[in-house]
Structure 1
């Protein structure tokens, strides 16, 4: 709540008037009223007497809100309220709008039948509002007698046709005038030239505030620094937007982050451009003129760097680098993250952050890494706050409490609904004693064991479908992400497997276990189609040790199954579904000491590869279809064959 009645109107209005007068070039042509105001250094008028205010209220039928009433006691009207209202009403000119603009008709025509109270009140302002604009650039300023707070203050609404935006609301007349003072400063800062230089007590105070905020942000005090920078930005002060955008970007507020004057500075461009470009790509912009717009004023080298970075980000090949010990930590963190160890990667970055070296005095935090396809997914709003709260760049301060890890360290999270509730089935392979890059050699065909570059699962899936030239109704070659599954284990994971067919399924556990141990899990206990299933198989040294498959209410099992994994413990009394799935996954995790990295699988980018088929070859008399895409077209072929997938035609 703002104490508007106690506000020092004379100080604001006299400062504003002097700043306006000093901003006018000597050779500029002005009308008589403006020239008089310039010489008097006063944009206002004589104060309104209590009698004049009372007569106004009698004419209008309502007592005026406190802040407007106190303003009138200092100046009975105002010239140049911001850049687009040239004369603001005093006691004689204030009048009820009564839809003089026709905007009530426009808003009411566009209103749906089920419009809520807020929309109807917004439309009604044009009939009931008190109009304060007397002369303006098609800009309306209305006080709303029905939008009143506990202090009796009326809200102010402004609207301009050229803004193509809904009316802007201010809590009271004081807040409106403060914003118009900011608007005046912002416009002067944009057009400020050498004659006259726009410098005054307000600009000097704000520039000092910006420098203090910069140091405070480097010391970890980002909240207060952000508020100070926002205040200075509202007045159009240089540096404020570029500094504040660095804070906003790490908080995940990407929509209006452009780093303004800093992103085109060759000193800072290598660090800020990748973030700007990554957001451009994330918004699916193919028209790169929007990127050029935000590079206005950039030299040829910066522009070339921007579009080279754009190509790398679109192709997923951008790699963030940094100098010194922090740069070494970046490389270690990327190596951890690309195998799914995202919590470890984040801690590696944070431990090294106090050693980070800014590119210049206006560089508040490392930012280019958010565009790195492997490191970027590490960022969350909570982690952004941790980074911003960590002293860096030579500033001392207390380190913040580390944010909690994003991975639960188990398998049970797979039984929880994912966003959109799309993960109703999944399968994974765990291999003991091998590195993730060795997993394809155990699960893929001999000539197809290379790992793809890290992508999200859906990116990898789309690329895989785009590059496939043969599709079989019988084969089940899985696209799987790989990484580390805990101490001594690696995983391959498929979050969108083909339908499970127990008659043709062949577990890859035995082939994966040569010289070690391998575990295969395939769950579909939440498919919702009446064909729930769960498979577990464990193999060692190329031979299956034990396995069971639950399907259609029955259980098939082989080998000596350890008691914690005995299917009879899970299927029986409980209704088959998420709770059974959770219990099974907890048992597997406990038996083998493994986990799968939730954040990396769901939100990150991992290496992928395509396995050999999870189904046996067709037998005599079994019909299937192979579609092979060749230059010039594609065609189906039915085949009956034993062994490899049957004949195909192009």
Structure 2
């Protein structure tokens, strides 16, 4: 990092002036003053003597910060500081701002009680800061005499009314001027700038750093590559932003525009799905509405973008690269769609050295992020692991694998942070049967098949609002399916209707011809009066044993194994979560089954609708009073979890 106190201003300012002089104005005209500056190749003024600087400090009553002092010794003021400050104050023009435009009161109105000290300083500084802008495009610039760093530098604040953003903060005048030099370059070199190509020593230097960053990223050094690319992007280098966005998207940042690359036909098929995936679910977005970053795209790319929006919105997008890596992607998708997300990620990670970029500015496989089945595999940690892995023909160190996301077993359902922690849930385990076969055993009608993969929240949003509060006779569950460990498949319902022990019909017998089936329905954290738990096990179409716990009462059928004896779990053993965990651990041990947490909570799994879990009342019988416990969420306007409701 450059020491601002020892920085040699003259070469820097001469270089800046020469670059400005060689760049014609947008309107092809210059003022008389600008013409003189161009001819002299100097945007500054004569240097200020020490006596002149001391006189200014005496007038203002403060010694100036080091970098501003050294600047004045080279140029007593400056023209065209960036794109919007046309004249920067020298010794004669610098003055205390005294809140000349009422900005302090304006900014303070928007502060709340939790405002950070830096936010409060950004409002107060306009009352006592040193004003440096003399002529500008509605841009105000002050140095803060109270915001002094260890190096003696004063913080600088810049605000423009047209930015619609808080004041920008710089740690010193030196940092501000460096950024203004970058701003000048960015405005001249941006992709939408019209005029001659902007080329000079600075642009060539930054472009070389972009090339260095690209190779560094492919070798796995994404952190240093990001720093180089961010620096080059500040100068408006056209490739830097698109390359940097690839790293940002995989390292945990959701927003990325891939500017300059997404409109390139080489990269558009892979980057467009990622770009629109976050917007596809928005109801106001249709096939004719595209992100503004597609400005400059040709007709072919625009047509592809519209088609991609519709494909992503419908859930039909599939990431399908070619070659050995593409084969690994297909294997990973097959694992992920049945819930084996950790193994799917391992498959992708091990295949990364085979990945081939689509062009020189392609840094990593990104299309899988938009794949509805593969996308949920990505976490910030996994993204950084991917970025740290050498690929695209480069070599480097191999990173340590990230930890798996599935804890195994069933006990995670009792964790306070699980999606089921404030509701009840139910699931069916079937032994020796593939997930795709479950509809034949649990759904009505011949030829029942699995539906498209959906997330936990997509299922919750599509469920009828009152279904979770009332046990209808047609209590059909929308379940997700997958593999539940060696030899088992599962069907899971994370938003069931209320439990009615009088009419509940376990699906275990219907699911068990030729094998075993296990059913669990748990609501132990519904409150002391509303807690319930049901377990039933069937083999070859007949129930072997079952028990139901409701309102401190246990009812059993058949010979329950000692390991699952309800007497071991109920009767003052702590709160509902503790009992729930113990029961789930026992069920997992007894059957060797598990449920994949990450796939259920964060992934997308195939779904189907089961037959009703509730038997109809007999015709002509008198309706009986039924007690059951709702799983409705408070935001639905229904009773809180565990509140008892009676219907006749």
TM-score by length of 2: 0.91
Q: Is the 8 A contact 1:423 1:495 kept in 2?
A: no
Distance in 1, Cα, partners of 2:478 & 2:447: 12
CA separation of 1:624/1:223 partners in 2, compared to 1, >3 Å: closer, same or farther? farther
1:76, 1:91 within 8 Å by CA — same for their partners in 2? yes
Task: Quote the Cα distance in structure 2 between the aligned partners of 1:45 and 1:288.
Answer: 56
User: Structure 2 CA distance, aligned partners of 1:171 and 1:289?
Assistant: 45
- Compared with structure 1, are the counterparts of its residues 527 and 296 closer, same or farther at alpha carbon in structure 2 (3 Å cutoff)? same
- Residues 190 and 237 of structure 2 are in contact (CA less than 8 Å); yes or no, is this contact kept in structure 1? no
1:330 matched residue in structure 2: 329
Specify the SS of the correspondent of 1:449. Answer: coil
Which residue pairs with 2:100 in the alignment?
100
2:247 corresponds to which residue?
247
Provide the C-alpha distance between the structure 1 equivalents of 2:355 and 2:590, rounded to a whole number of angstroms. 42
Deviation at 1:155, TM superposition (A): 0.7
SS at match of 1:326: helix
Query: Could you say what secondary structure the match of 2:473 adopts?
Result: coil
Relative to structure 1, the CA distance from residue 215 to residue 27 in structure 2 (aligned partners, 3 Å threshold; closer, same or farther) is: same
CA displacement at 1:394 relative to structure 2: 0.9
Q: Is 2:589 aligned against 1:603? A: no
1:399 shift after superposition: 1.8
- 1:113, 1:584 → 2: CA distance? 46
1:429 equivalent in structure 2: 428
1:238-317 correspondence runs (5 A)? 238-255=238-255, 257-282=256-281, 285-286=284-285, 291-317=290-316
After superposition, the Cα gap between the structure-2 partners of 1:612 and 1:295, relative to the gap in structure 1 and judged at 3 Å, is same
How far apart are residue 121 of structure 1 and its match? Answer: 2.7
Tell me how far apart the structure 1 counterparts of residues 455 and 192 of structure 2 sit (CA, whole Å): 47
Separation of aligned partners in 2, 1:595 and 1:531: 26
Deviations along 1:298-327, one digit per CA (max 9) or x if unpaired, are: 111111111111001111111111010111
Alpha-carbon contact 1:333-1:349 (below 8 Å) kept: yes
Structure 1 residues 374 and 123: CA distance shift in structure 2, 3 A: same
Unaligned runs of 5+ in 2: 626-648
Pick closer, same or farther for the CA change 1:52–1:191 going to 2, 3 Å: farther
Q: Which residue of 1 aligns with 2:453?
A: 454
The alpha-carbon distance between structure 1 residues 383 and 576, as it changes in their structure 2 partners (threshold 3 A), is same
Structure 2 CA distance for partners of 1:233 and 1:592, relative to 1, 3 Å: same
Q: Is the 8 A contact 2:547 2:557 kept in 1?
A: yes
Partner in structure 1 of residue 145 of structure 2 = 145
CA-based RMSD of the aligned residues comes to 2.3
1:225-260, Cα deviation, whole Å (9 max, x unpaired): 1110000000001211111111111123122x1111
- What residue in structure 2 maps to residue 525 of structure 1? 524
Q: 1:71 maps to what in 2?
A: 71
Q: 1:27 to 1:589 in 2, by over 3 A?
A: closer
- Aligned-partner Cα distance in 1 for 2:614–2:154: 72
Q: Is 1:37 the equivalent of 2:41?
A: no
Q: Secondary structure at the match of 1:454?
A: strand
CA distance in 1, matches of 2:313, 2:69: 57
Aligned to 1:577: 576
Rounded Cα–Cα distance in structure 2 between residues aligned with 1:254 and 1:26 = 35
Native 8 Å contact 2:339 2:600 kept in 1: yes
Report how far residue 573 of structure 1 moved. Answer: 3.6
Contact 2:415–2:421, Cα closer than 8 Å, also in 1: no
Whole-angstrom distance in 2 between the partners of 1:96 and 1:129 = 6
Q: 1:458 offset after TM fit, Å? A: 2.9
Query: What is the distance in 1 between the residues matched to 2:482 and 2:216?
Result: 40
- 2:633 is matched with none
Contact 2:222–2:387 (Cα < 8 Å) also in 1: yes
Aligned partners of 2:412 and 2:418 also within 8 Å: no
Equivalent residue of 1:260, what SS? coil
SS class of match (1:594): coil
Shift of 1:472: 7.6
Instruction: Say whether residues 1:129 and 2:129 are aligned partners.
Output: yes
**Structure 1 length-normalised TM:** 0.91
- Note if contact 2:287-2:306 (Cα within 8 Å) is conserved in structure 1: no
| Secondary structure of the structure 2 residue equivalent to 1:72 | helix
In structure 2, relative to structure 1, the CA distance for the partners of 1:180 and 1:285 (3 Å cut) is farther
Superposition deviation, residue 2 in structure 1 = 6.2
Residue 528 of structure 2 contacts residue 551 of structure 2 at CA under 8 Å; is this kept in 1? no
Q: SS where residue 276 of structure 2 aligns?
A: helix
Give the equivalent residue in structure 2 for 1:632.
Answer: none
